[in-house]
Chain A
Amino acid sequence: MEATKKMTTSTNQTIDWKLFFNKYATPVLLVILISFNVVFTPNFANINTMWNILIQMTTILLTALGMTLVIASGGIDISVGSVMAISSIISAKSLGLGVLPAILVGLLVAAVCGLFIGLIIAKFKIQPIIVTLPMMIGIRGIAQVTNDSQLLNFDSPAYSFIGTYKFAGNIPVQVLIMIIAVAVVYFISNKMAFGRYVQAMGDNYRASRLTGINTFLVIIGIYVISSALAGFAGIIETARLSAADANAIGKLMELDAIAAVAVGGTPMTGGRPNVIGTVFGVLIIQIITVAVNMNNIPYTYSLVVKAIVIILALWARRNK
Chain B
Amino acid sequence: MDERILLHMKSISKSFPGVKALKGVDLEVKKGEVHALMGENGAGKSTLIKVLTGVHIEDEGEIYFEDKQIFTNTTLQAQKCGISTIYQELDLIPELSICENIFLGREIMKKGIIDWKATQKRAKEILDDMGIDVEVTSILSSQSTAIQQMVSIARAISINARLVVMDEPTSSLDDKEVRVLFEVIKKLKAQNISVIFISHRLDEIFEICDAITILKDGERVGYSLIKDITKLELVSKMIGKDASQIISRKKSYNKDKMSNENIIVTKNIVRDPKVKGIDIEVKKGEVLGLAGLLGSGRTELARLIFGADLPQGGELYINGKKEKFNLPKDAIKKGMGFCPEDRKIEGIIPNMSVKENITLAILPRLTKMGIVSRKEQEKIVNKFIQALKIKTPHMNQAVKNLSGGNQQKVILARWMCMNPELLILDEPTRGIDVGAKKEILDLIEQLASDNISVLMISSEIEELMHACDRIAVIRDGKKVGELYAEEIGEEAIMNSIAEGHQSFA
A and B touch in the complex (CB under 8 A): yes
Taking Cβ atoms with an 8 Å cutoff, the residues of A that contact B are 191-194, 196-197, 199-200, 203-204, 206-214, 271-272
> Contact partner of A193 among B331, B338, B351, B372, CB < 8 A?
B372
In the assembled complex, the Cα of A206 lies from the Cα of B349 at a distance in Å of 9
- Find out whether the CB atom of B372 lies under 8 angstroms from the CB atom of A211: no
**Chain B residues within 8 Å of A214, by CB:** 329
**Chain B residues within 8 Å of A199, by CB:** 349, 351-352, 356
* Given A206-B346, A210-B328, A211-B328, A192 and B372 contact (CB-CB distance below 8 Å): yes
In the assembled complex, the Cα of A194 lies from the Cα of B372 at a distance in Å of 9
Q: How far is the CB of B349 from chain A (nearest CB, A)?
A: 5
Q: Could you pull out 5 A-B pairs where Cβ atoms are within 8 angstroms?
A: A193-B367, A196-B363, A203-B350, A204-B350, A212-B328
- Find out whether the CB atom of A192 lies under 8 angstroms from the CB atom of B370: yes
| B113 in the interface (beta carbon within 8 A) | no
**Chain A residues within 8 Å of B327, by CB:** 209
> Contact partner of B363 among A193, A203, A209, A272, CB < 8 A?
A193
* Given A192-B367, A192-B371, A210-B308, A200 and B340 contact (CB-CB distance below 8 Å): no
> Contact partner of B329 among A192, A194, A213, CB < 8 A?
A213
In the assembled complex, the Cα of A209 lies from the Cα of B303 at a distance in Å of 13
In the assembled complex, the Cα of A192 lies from the Cα of B87 at a distance in Å of 44
**Chain B residues within 8 Å of A196, by CB:** 352, 356, 360, 363, 372
| B361 in the interface (beta carbon within 8 A) | yes
Taking Cβ atoms with an 8 Å cutoff, the residues of B that contact A are 306, 308, 327-329, 331-333, 338, 340, 345-352, 356, 360-361, 363-364, 366-367, 370-372, 374, 414
Q: How far is the CB of B364 from chain A (nearest CB, A)?
A: 7
Residue of A whose beta carbon sits closest to that of B348: A207
* Given A196-B363, A213-B360, A191 and B371 contact (CB-CB distance below 8 Å): yes
Beyond the given A193-B371, A204-B345, A207-B347, could you list 13 further A-B residue pairs with CB under 8 A, ordered by the A residue number? A191-B374, A192-B372, A193-B363, A193-B370, A196-B352, A196-B356, A196-B360, A197-B363, A199-B352, A200-B349, A203-B351, A213-B329, A272-B352
Interface SS of chain A: helix
In the assembled complex, the Cα of A200 lies from the Cα of B144 at a distance in Å of 36
**Chain A residues within 8 Å of B351, by CB:** 199, 203, 271-272
- Find out whether the CB atom of A206 lies under 8 angstroms from the CB atom of B372: no
**Chain A residues within 8 Å of B361, by CB:** 211-212
- Find out whether the CB atom of A200 lies under 8 angstroms from the CB atom of B370: no
* Most chain A CB inside 10 Å of its own CB: which residue of B327, B333, B345, B374: B327
**Chain A residues within 8 Å of B338, by CB:** 210
- Find out whether the CB atom of B372 lies under 8 angstroms from the CB atom of A209: no
Residue of A whose beta carbon sits closest to that of B345: A206
Q: How far is the CB of A183 from chain B (nearest CB, A)?
A: 14
- Find out whether the CB atom of B360 lies under 8 angstroms from the CB atom of A211: yes
**Chain A residues within 8 Å of B360, by CB:** 196, 200, 208, 211, 213
> Contact partner of B348 among A197, A204, A209, A271, CB < 8 A?
A204
- Find out whether the CB atom of A210 lies under 8 angstroms from the CB atom of B349: no
Q: How far is the CB of B167 from chain A (nearest CB, A)?
A: 23
Q: How far is the CB of A33 from chain B (nearest CB, A)?
A: 28
Q: Which 3 A-B pairs have the closest CB atoms?
A: A212-B332, A212-B329, A193-B363
Q: How far is the CB of B365 from chain A (nearest CB, A)?
A: 10
**Chain A residues within 8 Å of B372, by CB:** 191-193, 196
In the assembled complex, the Cα of A272 lies from the Cα of B350 at a distance in Å of 11
In the assembled complex, the Cα of A204 lies from the Cα of B348 at a distance in Å of 8
In the assembled complex, the Cα of A171 lies from the Cα of B280 at a distance in Å of 70
* Most chain B CB inside 10 Å of its own CB: which residue of A208, A210, A272: A210
* Most chain A CB inside 10 Å of its own CB: which residue of B308, B333, B356, B363: B363
Residue of A whose beta carbon sits closest to that of B347: A207
**Chain A residues within 8 Å of B350, by CB:** 203-204
**Chain B residues within 8 Å of A193, by CB:** 363-364, 366-367, 370-372
In the assembled complex, the Cα of A84 lies from the Cα of B340 at a distance in Å of 43
Residue of B whose beta carbon sits closest to that of A267: B351
**Chain A residues within 8 Å of B332, by CB:** 211-212
- Find out whether the CB atom of B367 lies under 8 angstroms from the CB atom of A210: no
In the assembled complex, the Cα of A271 lies from the Cα of B364 at a distance in Å of 21
> Contact partner of B349 among A191, A207, A212, CB < 8 A?
A207
- Find out whether the CB atom of B346 lies under 8 angstroms from the CB atom of A207: yes
In the assembled complex, the Cα of A210 lies from the Cα of B346 at a distance in Å of 7
In the assembled complex, the Cα of A191 lies from the Cα of B332 at a distance in Å of 23
In the assembled complex, the Cα of A211 lies from the Cα of B360 at a distance in Å of 7
In the assembled complex, the Cα of A214 lies from the Cα of B331 at a distance in Å of 12
In the assembled complex, the Cα of A192 lies from the Cα of B366 at a distance in Å of 10
- Find out whether the CB atom of A208 lies under 8 angstroms from the CB atom of B349: yes
Q: How far is the CB of B384 from chain A (nearest CB, A)?
A: 16
- Find out whether the CB atom of B356 lies under 8 angstroms from the CB atom of A207: no
In the assembled complex, the Cα of A200 lies from the Cα of B399 at a distance in Å of 12
In the assembled complex, the Cα of A196 lies from the Cα of B362 at a distance in Å of 12
**Chain B residues within 8 Å of A207, by CB:** 340, 345-349
Residue of A whose beta carbon sits closest to that of B369: A192
Q: How far is the CB of B266 from chain A (nearest CB, A)?
A: 19
In the assembled complex, the Cα of A211 lies from the Cα of B348 at a distance in Å of 10
In the assembled complex, the Cα of A158 lies from the Cα of B346 at a distance in Å of 53
* Most chain B CB inside 10 Å of its own CB: which residue of A199, A207, A212, A271: A212
Residue of B whose beta carbon sits closest to that of A188: B370
* Given A193-B364, A196-B372, A211-B360, A203 and B328 contact (CB-CB distance below 8 Å): no
In the assembled complex, the Cα of A194 lies from the Cα of B345 at a distance in Å of 22
**Chain A residues within 8 Å of B356, by CB:** 196, 199-200
- Find out whether the CB atom of A203 lies under 8 angstroms from the CB atom of B349: yes
In the assembled complex, the Cα of A206 lies from the Cα of B350 at a distance in Å of 12
In the assembled complex, the Cα of A196 lies from the Cα of B356 at a distance in Å of 8
* Most chain A CB inside 10 Å of its own CB: which residue of B331, B332, B356, B360: B360
**Chain A residues within 8 Å of B345, by CB:** 204, 206-207
Residue of B whose beta carbon sits closest to that of A187: B371
* Most chain A CB inside 10 Å of its own CB: which residue of B351, B361, B366: B351
Q: How far is the CB of A191 from chain B (nearest CB, A)?
A: 6
**Chain B residues within 8 Å of A271, by CB:** 351
* Most chain A CB inside 10 Å of its own CB: which residue of B329, B331, B338, B350: B329
Q: How far is the CB of B337 from chain A (nearest CB, A)?
A: 9
- Find out whether the CB atom of A204 lies under 8 angstroms from the CB atom of B349: yes
Q: How far is the CB of B360 from chain A (nearest CB, A)?
A: 5
**Chain B residues within 8 Å of A210, by CB:** 306, 308, 328, 338, 340, 346-347
